[in-house]
A and B are shown apart, each in its own frame.
Chain A
């Protein structure tokens, strides 16, 4: 139990619409270990983002249970698909945003922010505004904002889907490096099967709506993963057939 970070038990979620209800998630039972890189993969509309929002506490209207094992909301961070940066704040102030509720001295905050900015190559852009940055840099700011709180669990909702393939590849490496260095649990949603296989220890495959867990696959490949090996493609095909 001590090794488990988050558990969901018989989790169900429906959305009310004009003519009744739509079931988004059905009987989700998951166990995510501490320090694990866990991905949730599925087609559009399978409820992946909804599941992530429920697990992170952003969505409270559901049935079933979500158990945080010795964790509180203070231990969580989130990286958003469309970056969620405040356009009226500089890069420095956007990263500072996640520390506003923390009981830290100004010098401690400053030190942490500069550390994260430097780590992500943003130190020269501290005074820039989000509109002056590329998509990849905006997401780096989002990641810096998530890391500066020293989280135990980082939720990522399709963090690379808005980026071009070169930038996404670069950031995948960056995220894996961060995960190794911090030892945080990362729970990432993606619609890209190859991305899930490249990054994850475990892959939860969701069915099309209503989303239910078809299978949780333990990634058999050692890191670093060979993205062009026949075994990699074979696993990718297997997951694709599960979803279809």
Chain B
């Protein structure tokens, strides 16, 4: 019996092969770039790895928080109070508070991660809420009449309904996050990561330009590899 949670998101072998090429391309580019630029390859990949790890941790935290807040506050009287509040909080100029955060939390991974969470979470929260607000009234009636509750309710209903918003929110949120990642690492002056790399070579136009290009190739690859197929897959799954 075929399960509804199949992970097959690639249409064919060629599709998978081209997608894998997108995985290899940024790393190949960075390898060639480091050799030509006379850079320490392992240091370059190390910095990249640390930045990606910070981003990954921040994304997981933002995802969990955004989902919990969205399902808790998307309807009823709670929504009337919470949604305008979220709107105001989202508009807060977080970078203005960054020096203060450095003062209290130090030049640390924690500061970078917290700031990335704050940058990413807004888009995800509102996208998930948008998905949840599209729940049809007769689906809700089916949930009520058959008394679907607890973990079954989350797994079979709430989570699948929120996934389209989760995906689009992730794409937008991570877009903001990639921008914030380098800036935050530079301002916080952490000793590792792409921020420190760009700081070090800030006077070298060629290395900075190729570094940015490599970074863009990586982001593009992640979008093609992960988000685009997921988005297509879930949009077709939500068709009635």
Chain A residues proximal to chain B, CB less than 8 Å: 53, 56-58, 73-74, 76-78, 80-90, 92-93, 97-98, 100-101, 126-127, 129-131, 145, 149
Contact = CB atoms under 8 A, between A and B. Distances in A.
A78 B4 contact: no
Given A89-B4, A127-B2, A77 B145 contact: yes
Given A84-B136, A84-B138, A86-B157, 6 more contacts: A82-B138, A84-B139, A84-B142, A87-B240, A100-B156, A131-B236
Given A86-B156, A86-B160, A97-B148, A130 B142 contact: no
Nearest to A142: B142
A146 to B, nearest CB: 9
Nearest to B148: A100
Contacts of B144: 57-58
A101 B148 contact: yes
B65 to A, nearest CB: 24
Contacts of A73: 145, 147
Contacts of B4: 88-90, 93, 129
Contacts of B139: 84, 86
Contact of A100 (B145, B146, B160): B146
Task: Count chain B CB atoms within 10 A of each CB in A56, A77, A93 and give the residue with the most.
Answer: A93
A189 to B, nearest CB: 14
A131 B240 contact: yes
Given A80-B138, A86-B160, A90-B2, A56 B237 contact: no
Nearest to B164: A88
A77 B147 CA distance: 11
A129 B156 contact: no
B204 interface: no
Interface string B138-165: 1101101111110011001100110000
A129 B237 contact: yes
A58 B160 CA distance: 23
Contacts of B141: 53, 58, 78, 80, 84
A94 B237 CA distance: 14
A149 B146 contact: yes
A87 B146 contact: no
A101 B152 contact: yes
Given A78-B141, A80-B141, A97-B156, A87 B237 contact: yes
B238 A87 contact: yes
B100 interface: no
A83 B136 CA distance: 11
Given A80-B138, A86-B160, A87-B237, A58 B147 contact: no
Contact of A97 (B1, B146, B237, B240): B146
B1 A127 contact: yes
Nearest to B138: A84
B238 A88 contact: yes
Given A97-B156, A126-B1, A87 B145 contact: no
Most chain A CB inside 10 Å of its own CB: which residue of B3, B141, B152, B236? B141
Interface string B155-177: 01100110000000000000000
A78 B142 contact: yes
Contacts of B3: 90
Contacts of A130: 240
A58 B144 CA distance: 7
A73 B141 CA distance: 13
Nearest to B151: A100
B136 to A, nearest CB: 7
A143 to B, nearest CB: 13
A85 to B, nearest CB: 8
Given A86-B160, A87-B240, A90-B2, A97 B147 contact: no
A96 to B, nearest CB: 9
A87 B239 contact: yes
Contacts of A56: 145
A58 B3 CA distance: 30
Contacts of B160: 86, 88-89
Nearest to A155: B145
